[in-house]
């Protein structure tokens, strides 16, 4: 099995293990953005869960979803775990991306600001960090700003990278605001920063939203359906392995996100213990319609699009796994 770590512009780390057997199918799976929920991939990679399906997994860690989608479209990866808005944008450009399993089906991001920002007026001209344009961090930032009456053209939006990089930029004063999820959001507020908007709060009236999900191409499914089923089975098995073994999960969270024990435990409790079962549910059509409407604000081609016209959902993989009794067995 192999691990690749990408920044937004360069490979950061490559670890190679022993070569796969000649009969094993090599599968590259990428993270688009790095947060605790991506431990679904880390545990499958760490525990070599794809071996039982005659596959050798190469994991590619990428700090933002935009670059992750580029690898999927180019067939440099066969699966991407990232935000659903990327599939919308890619398919509007003629790609054939489809969602085969869920993840976090709401927006966990919070708009965290430096203490001097107290009102919407204070945002004017301020620097706000995202990972990269087109990523979930940009989409969620725009939603958060809109909720408090701030127009995106009133601020400076900077592409700085992953969640830990953005947290450091906020704490150092390089930027005045950013969107963070837990545990970094909680850590930032403990360090004196202020919570301005929590998009997971029901008071904002947001629908069940495709914050992240497992995506592949329909071309891959047409020729490698058995491998696709095996891959998603491995992700599900990894989830329940972590639910049974918090120490394993915390070890992986610390390794990939470089967090301390307390922060890793906070992230585990929220993402894995409470919300990890989201992998078993595809995004709701209403949530995808919301995503398309957000994309349409930046891309006019999305105005007439629907989840069906973009062929965003492929339910048959999860349906087959559920009907087989596999989930009850791994639980």
pLDDT > 90: percent of the chain:
72
Element (H, E) at 14: strand 11-16
Confidence check: pLDDT of 14 > 50:
no
Q: For residue 282, give the nearest of 41, 77, 103 by alpha carbon.
A: 103
Q: Where are the domains of the chain?
A: 2-105+208-330, 110-204
- Mean pLDDT to the nearest integer, 220-231: 97
3-state SS, residue 181: coil
What CATH number is given for 2-105+208-330 in this structure?
A: 3.40.190.10
pLDDT of residue 24: 81
- The predicted-structure confidence for 64-99, as pLDDT tens digits, reads as follows 888 999 999 999 999 999 999 899 999 999 999 999
- pLDDT, one tens digit per residue, over 190-200 is 999 999 999 98
Average pLDDT for the chain: 90
Task: Check pLDDT > 80 for residue 11.
Answer: no
Tell me, what's the pLDDT at 294? 84
- Average pLDDT for 299-306: 92
Question: What pLDDT is recorded for position 165?
Answer: 92
For 264-275, the pLDDT digits (tens) are: 999 999 999 999
Q: What is the helix (H) or strand (E) element at residue 330, kind and residue range?
A: helix 326-330
Cα–Cα distance measured from residue 286 to residue 268, given in angstroms and rounded to the nearest whole number: 28
Pick the closest to residue 166 from 176, 152, 154, 153 (CA basis).
Answer: 176
Q: Is the fold of 2-105+208-330 the same as that of 110-204?
A: yes
pLDDT at 8 over 60: no
Q: How confident is the model at residue 207 (pLDDT cuts 50, 70, 90)?
A: confident
Between 286 and 329, the higher pLDDT residue: 329
Q: How confident is the model at residue 4 (pLDDT cuts 50, 70, 90)?
A: low
Structure tokens at 180: 């963070």
CATH homologous superfamily for 110-204?
Answer: Periplasmic binding protein-like II (3.40.190.10)
* 11-25, 44-58, 113-127: range with lowest mean pLDDT: 11-25
State the Cα–Cα distance between residues 62 and 78, nearest whole angstrom.
14
The answer, yes or no, to whether residue 284 has pLDDT greater than 90, is: no
pLDDT at 199: 92
What is the pLDDT confidence band of residue 12, given thresholds at 50, 70 and 90?
Answer: very low
pTM to 2 decimals?
A: 0.81
pLDDT tens sequence across 290-299? 889 888 988 8
Average pLDDT over residues 307-331: 96
- Per-residue pLDDT reduced to its tens digit, 238-279: 999 999 999 999 999 999 998 999 999 999 999 999 999 999
Region of poorest pLDDT, from 119-123, 159-163, 218-222: 159-163
CA-angle at 31, arms to 169 and 176, nearest 5°: 15
- Rounded CA-CA distance 38/81 in Å is 7
């Amino acid at each position: 099995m192999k691990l690749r770590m990408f920044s937004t512009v360069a490979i950061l780390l490559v670890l190679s293990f022993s070569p796969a057997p000649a009969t094993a199918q090599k599968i590259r799976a990428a993270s688009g953005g790095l947060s605790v929920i991506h431990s679904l991939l880390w545990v499958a990679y760490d525990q070599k869960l794809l071996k039982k399906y005659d596959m050798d997994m190469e994991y590619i860690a990428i700090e933002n979803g935009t670059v992750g989608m580029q690898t999927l479209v180019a067939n440099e990866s066969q699966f991407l775990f990232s935000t659903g808005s990327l599939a919308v944008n890619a398919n509007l450009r003629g790609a054939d991306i489809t969602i085969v399993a869920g993840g976090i089906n709401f927006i966990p991001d919070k708009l965290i600001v430096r203490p001097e920002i107290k009102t919407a007026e204070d945002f004017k001209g301020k620097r706000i960090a995202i990972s990269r344009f087109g990523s979930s961090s940009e989409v969620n930032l725009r939603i958060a700003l809109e909720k408090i009456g701030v127009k995106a053209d009133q601020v400076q939006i900077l592409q700085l990278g992953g969640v830990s990089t953005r947290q450091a930029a906020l704490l150092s004063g390089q930027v005045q605001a950013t969107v963070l999820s837990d545990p970094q959001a909680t850590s930032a507020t403990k360090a004196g920063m202020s919570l301005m908007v929590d998009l997971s709060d029901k008071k904002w009236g947001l629908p069940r939203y495709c914050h992240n999900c497992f995506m592949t191409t329909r071309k891959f499914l047409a020729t490698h359906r058995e491998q696709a089923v095996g891959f998603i089975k491995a992700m599900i098995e990894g989830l329940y392995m972590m639910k049974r073994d918090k120490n394993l999960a915390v070890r992986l969270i610390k390794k990939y996100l470089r967090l301390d024990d307390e922060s890793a435990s906070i992230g585990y409790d929220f993402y894995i213990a409470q919300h990890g079962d989201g992998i078993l549910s595809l995004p709701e059509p209403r949530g995808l319609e919301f995503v398309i409407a957000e994309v349409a604000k930046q891309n006019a081609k999305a105005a007439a699009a629907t989840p069906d016209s973009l062929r965003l959902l492929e339910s048959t993989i999860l349906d087959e796994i559920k009907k087989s009794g596999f989930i009850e067995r791994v639980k």
